[in-house]
A = this chain, B = another copy of it.
Amino acid sequence: MNLEFTPEEQAFREEVRSFIAENYPKHLADFGMREDMSREDFLAWHKILGRKGWSVPAWPVEYGGTGWTPTQRYIWSEENARASTVMPLPFGVSMVGPVIYTFGNAEQKARHLPGIVSGEVWWCQGYSEPGAGSDLASLKTTAVRDGDHYVINGQKTWTTLAQHADWGFFLCRTDPTAKAQEGISFILVDMKSPGVEVKPIKLLDGGYEVNETWLTDVRVPVENLVGQENKGWTYAKFLLAHERSGIAGVARSKRGIEKLREIAANETLEGAPLIKDFDFAKKVSQLEIDLAALEITELRTLAGEQAGKGPGPESSILKIKGTEIQQRLTELTLEAVGTYSAPYMGGVSNDNSNEHPVGPDYAAHAAATYFNMRKTSIYGGSNEIQRNIITKMILGL
């Protein structure tokens, strides 16, 4: 048991750091959590990584993965967080990609995986429905077989960044007589299909990053069914566990704490830098301690995975603690900026004005980011659902 990096790992870190320094688009530097970007901005780094062969590190090598050890992947995350890069979006890379290479057929793999690897194809996720949030399995969208097609009808919601999407993966009910989790299928839908309509939802920070997606008589070829009909719940659960494992966001939160320290060094309290105030500094130290614990917990989980265990219920702990830390970080940032938390300078996502901010730059989105990040304890299986999972799977109650 040790925390040291081998000389090979240190060399790898150097390689990664140089590659980022030389190749990362200058105009997207230090972008942080802002998302007011064009489709091209979102995909720029993804495409560069795709050409380098580094866009999907965790995938099996045969589909484009890098074959890196968990330690290398850890280094990779750290270096990207250090440079605040705009990372490939998870919908293709961490969600539908693993489902397709694990459960899809050869044709589906050949057709869909390369676009994810290269960053050419933008995916979105059609899981939640207005009446089916935490209780995902109560979804009502139907896919009815009609010859060589499914005809899909229903309404999805919280489809993140669907406004840019080329393809979506949807959970649809294919057997209306089956109970809850049975009778659901996992279907890939071309978002340009007639009958697909995407309407933005304005969020409380003022931005638009999620949508309602309406499907009206959308005809989808049966070959877009992944795995077996009515077995979609299995793939959905697989995907959710995968989604959670990345959700801890340790490296990003580390960078976030650095930024918080910079802000607090610039703000003043009683004539001295805020970060010299013991009361505030203590909160930052507590957050660092919580994050240090989460980092080791994630590394222990990774070590378990390396030893052959899949992402299990431990990932629920990573989700809970990771989002608590992310939210606390935005809360402390809001507190640090004080008076200038009040002016509204546009949302976190694509609604912001181009005006020069009132007050310091770092204050401009502090409140919006705080508001926006409340979502993290709600989405990806709410933190209450995660506690239910731990109750069942770890406590055995």
Give Cα A279 to B278, complex, Å. 9
Nearest CB on B from A277, distance (A): 10
Nearest CB on B from A284, distance (A): 15
Q: In residues 115-129 of chain A, which contact B (Cβ within 8 Å)?
A: none
Q: What are the residues of chain B within 8 A of A278 when measuring CB–CB?
A: 278-279
Q: In residues 253-310 of chain A, which contact B (Cβ within 8 Å)?
A: 278-279, 282
Give Cα A257 to B127, complex, Å. 54
Give Cα A282 to B283, complex, Å. 14
Give Cα A279 to B285, complex, Å. 14
Q: What are the residues of chain B within 8 A of A279 when measuring CB–CB?
A: 278, 282
- Indicate how many identical chains form the complex: 2
Give the nearest-CB partner of A282 in chain B: B279
Give Cα A279 to B282, complex, Å. 10
Give Cα A279 to B280, complex, Å. 11
Q: In residues 312-326 of chain A, which contact B (Cβ within 8 Å)?
A: none
Q: Can you report 3 A-B residue pairs in the complex whose CB atoms are below 8 A from each other? A: A278-B278, A278-B279, A279-B282
Nearest CB on B from A394, distance (A): 22
Give Cα A16 to B279, complex, Å. 43
Give Cα A279 to B277, complex, Å. 12
Give the nearest-CB partner of A278 in chain B: B278
Give Cα A278 to B279, complex, Å. 9
Nearest CB on B from A166, distance (A): 45
Give Cα A278 to B282, complex, Å. 12
Nearest CB on B from A283, distance (A): 12
Give Cα A278 to B278, complex, Å. 9
Give Cα A282 to B279, complex, Å. 10
Q: What are the residues of chain B within 8 A of A282 when measuring CB–CB?
A: 279
The 3 closest A-B pairs by CB, nearest first: A278-B278, A278-B279, A279-B282
Give Cα A196 to B231, complex, Å. 65
Q: Mark A344-355, 1 if CB is under 8 A from B, else 0.
A: 000000000000
Give Cα A282 to B280, complex, Å. 13
Nearest CB on B from A380, distance (A): 27
Nearest CB on B from A28, distance (A): 42
Nearest CB on B from A12, distance (A): 43
Give Cα A282 to B278, complex, Å. 12
Give Cα A282 to B282, complex, Å. 13
Give Cα A279 to B281, complex, Å. 12
Give Cα A278 to B280, complex, Å. 12
Give Cα A278 to B281, complex, Å. 13
